[in-house]
Amino acid sequence: MPRAVRFSRYGGPEVLEIAEAERPQAGHGQVVVDVVAAALNPGEIGIREGVFAAVWPARFPEGQGNDFAGRVAEVGDGATGFAPGDEVLGFAPRAAQADFVVAGPGALTAKPAGLGWAEAASIAGAGATAWAGVAAVDPRPGETVVVSAAAGGVGVITAQLAKLRGARVIGTASEGNFGFLRDLGIHPVAYGPGLAERLRAAAPQGVDAYLDTFGAGNVSTAIELGVRPARINTIADGRAVQRYGVHSAAQEQADEPEIWAELAALAAGGELTIPVAAIYPMERVREAYQDLGTRHVRGKRVLAIKPFDHEGDHR
Architecture of domain 128-252: 3-Layer(aba) Sandwich (3.40)
Per-residue pLDDT of the chain (315 residues; tens, 9 = 90+): 999 999 999 999 999 999 999 999 999 999 999 999 999 999 999 999 999 999 889 999 999 999 999 999 999 999 999 999 999 999 999 999 999 999 998 999 999 999 999 999 999 999 999 999 999 999 999 999 999 999 999 999 999 999 999 999 999 999 999 999 999 999 999 999 999 999 999 999 999 999 999 999 999 999 999 999 999 999 999 999 999 999 999 999 999 999 999 999 999 999 999 999 999 999 999 999 999 998 777 899 999 999 998 765 555
Count of residues in the chain: 315
CA distance 136 to 220: 18
DSSP string, 257-304: HHHHHHHHHHHHTTSS---EEEEEEGGGHHHHHHHHHT---SBEEEEE
314 φ/ψ angles, rounded to the nearest 5 degrees:
-105, 125
Q: Where are the CATH 3.40.50.720 domain residues in the chain?
A: 128-252
CATH 3.90.180.10 residue window(s) in the chain = 3-122+274-304
Burial label for 312, CB within 10 Å (0-12, 13-18, 19+), is middle
Which residue type is seen at 43? G
Phi-psi label, residue 74: left if phi above 0, alpha if psi -120 to 50, beta otherwise: beta
Cα separation, 100 vs 267, whole angstroms: 25
Contact 145, 119 (CB under 8 A): no
Q: Which of 203, 236, 198 has the alpha carbon at shortest distance from 217? A: 236
Number of Cβ atoms within 10 Å of the Cβ of 73 = 20
* Homologous superfamily (CATH) for 3-122+274-304: Medium-chain alcohol dehydrogenases, catalytic domain (3.90.180.10)
Give the whole-angstrom CA distance, residue 230 versus residue 3. Answer: 45
Q: Is the dihedral of CA 151, 50, 252, 144 positive or negative?
A: negative
Backbone phi, psi, residue 95, to 5°: -145, -5
For strands 108-110 and 87-91, give the pairing: antiparallel
Q: How many CA atoms lie within 13 A of 258 on its CB side?
A: 1
pLDDT of residue 241: 97
pLDDT at 215: 94
Distance between terminal CA atoms of the chain? 24
- For residues 215 and 212, give the distance between their C-alpha atoms in angstroms, rounded to a whole number: 6
Q: What is the pLDDT of residue 138?
A: 98
